[in-house]
Amino acid sequence: MKILIPTKLDKAAAGALIAAGYEVIQDDTTPLTELAAAHPDAAGMIVRSEKVTPAIIDALPGLKCVIRAGAGYDNIDYVYARTKGIDVMNTPGANSNAVAEEVIAMILAAYRYVVPADVTTRAGEWNKKKYMGRELTRKTVGILGLGNIGRLLVKRLQGFECTVLGYDHFLSKQRALNIGATPSTLEEIFSTADIISIHVPGGPATKNMINEQLIGMMKDGAMLVNCARYGVVDEDAIRAARAAGKNIMYCTDVHPKDTATLQPSADVADILLPHLGANTAEANKLAAMRSASQMEEYFTNGDTSCVINAEKPNNINPAHLQLAAMLGKLCYQAGGAKPIRKIECTFYNNLRSYRKWFTPWILQGAVPGAEHGLMPAAAEQSLREHGIVFNAREPMDDKLYDDALTLDIYMEENGEQIKTSVRGMVVDGEPVVSRINNFDHLYASLAGHTLVLRYQDRPGVIATIGQIISQAGINIENMVAPRDHASGESLAVIKTDKLVSEDMLELIYRAIAAKQAFTLSL
């Protein structure tokens, strides 16, 4: 069986596969199009950053498995690969230590002016006075995101006797302390830390997460390090702060595209690297060995646990998967958007047979910034890495809800776990929520723009809400407002033709003395 490795990957992968009896073609100089044409019988392929396009896939009719030796896999058209029956895998975690060490290297290089000092000394200058540096020892370092990389960075900083502050929306305070970081808010970190290192996922949930307000809180002389994703930092805010006289250091290794061009961060970064985080011999070897091991397990034992594009059963209704994601987001917001500690879900009737396939959708709905498109095993691993206990329960025999899904999320508040519960189903092809906590029989559509308000029931509240909304030119498309007789509270679930703004939400909240108010756009 032939395995194609069209990349500069550590030879350990080829060696391991050859020892296992595979024929391996490793060539990082010949274009992939030519390699594919020369080896159409290849059954497996291991890549790093090479583009695996539909054309490449079509040129390899015998291909069964593609493995990305690294975490990301956007360079592989895994959707098209699925149509051809090709499984795609990755090797997450292999690069974590390399990135953690890169952060240390960037901090020290910036503090000691390593790059400009080297350049000017080679040019015959002697700028010893100009390059008065600073020490990392005993500095206060804030780490945003205590995943694999963040935790390794905490360990690396211990030798420098640093005070480490940690921000991770999903870790419990005790777990953060066990890692070696003092749980802190973003505001506490940005106002007190000498160095701030970012290790959060990219995407819409974290775009410009480091904004003008946070950058404005930074101490004079503080440093910001971004080895996460481009777009997490509002670099225009750094430019504006510097223009206003604030002294901020900025080091970055991430860019819109990994390509040879003038990078948009060039004018604002003190240290600018070409995405070298995973670029170490050790990380390369570890990723190589993991990819070789996964390839062998795939063909020898049929192990598909790392497949990221596995085909879901044909008879799962996509609307039910969408329902799971929507209920996850709704439950998270209804619980106050606090750190999640546990998720429990119950699948009724025909959904019971497919419950593992709902895990990725629950993850991406309930956990802000979570990676989308994961397979069930990877989604379960992601939940564990976020410190979330996940449990898919069997339904009680005396409860019949057709093809329904109940989702219970336990969030941490003042050291206690507070439960929020929702239930939903698909009606006429559309996901609807039938219950939010004690408010039952809602049957409200989850698609579109929704305003949710909880308040003490009394006459005139709905009229007040309608008046405020109408004055803003927003129409109410549908509304349910059940009353909980035990508490005397009502819950208004209002579908609108436009999203209610934050300012208007605050106005409504105050006008009706609401106990809870939030919006959803799904």
Q: Where are the domains of the chain?
A: 2-94+281-301, 96-272, 318-521
Note the pLDDT of residue 399.
61
Collapsed DSSP state (helix, strand, coil) of residue 341:
strand
Cβ proximity of 56 and 33 under 8 Å: yes
Indicate if the pLDDT at residue 398 is higher than 60.
no
HSE-CB at 431 with a 13 A cutoff on CA atoms is 22
Q: How many CB atoms lie within 10 A of CB 311?
A: 10
Query: What are the distances in angstroms from CA 91 to CA 63, 151, 283, 291, 295?
Result: 19, 19, 11, 7, 11
Strand partners, 166: 143, 183
Note the pLDDT of residue 207.
87
Note the pLDDT of residue 463.
94
Name the least confident of 253-257, 367-371, 414-418: 367-371
pTM as predicted? 0.68
Report the amino acid identity of residue 388. I
Name the least confident of 20-34, 65-79, 454-468: 65-79
pLDDT average, residue stretch 263-281: 94
* Sequence-distant contacts of 61-65: CB under 8 A, at least 24 apart: 62/2, 64/299, 65/89, 65/295, 65/298, 65/299
CATH of region 96-272, choose from 3.40.50.720, 2.70.70.10, 2.70.150.10, 3.20.20.140: 3.40.50.720
Give the whole-angstrom CA distance, residue 28 versus residue 149: 29
User: What is the band of 170 on the pLDDT scale with cuts at 50, 70, 90?
Assistant: low
Cβ proximity of 231 and 202 under 8 Å: yes
Note the pLDDT of residue 401.
66
Q: What is the pLDDT of residues 6-16, one digit of tens each?
A: 999 999 999 99
pLDDT average, residue stretch 480-485: 92
pLDDT average, residue stretch 339-365: 90
CATH number of this structure's domain 318-521: 3.30.70.260
Q: What is the pLDDT of residues 296-330, one digit of tens each?
A: 999 999 888 788 887 677 778 889 999 999 999 99
Collapsed DSSP state (helix, strand, coil) of residue 468:
helix
Cβ proximity of 275 and 255 under 8 Å: yes
User: What is the band of 331 on the pLDDT scale with cuts at 50, 70, 90?
Assistant: very high
Collapsed DSSP state (helix, strand, coil) of residue 364:
helix
Give the whole-angstrom CA distance, residue 404 versus residue 75: 37
- Mean pLDDT computed over every residue of the chain: 91
Note the pLDDT of residue 172.
67
Find out if CATH 1.10.150.80 is the number for domain 2-94+281-301. Answer: no
pLDDT average, residue stretch 73-81: 86
pLDDT average, residue stretch 170-174: 71
Helix (H) or strand (E) holding 58: helix 54-58
HSE-CB at 258 with a 13 A cutoff on CA atoms is 15
Q: Let me know if the fold of 96-272 is the same as that of 318-521.
A: no
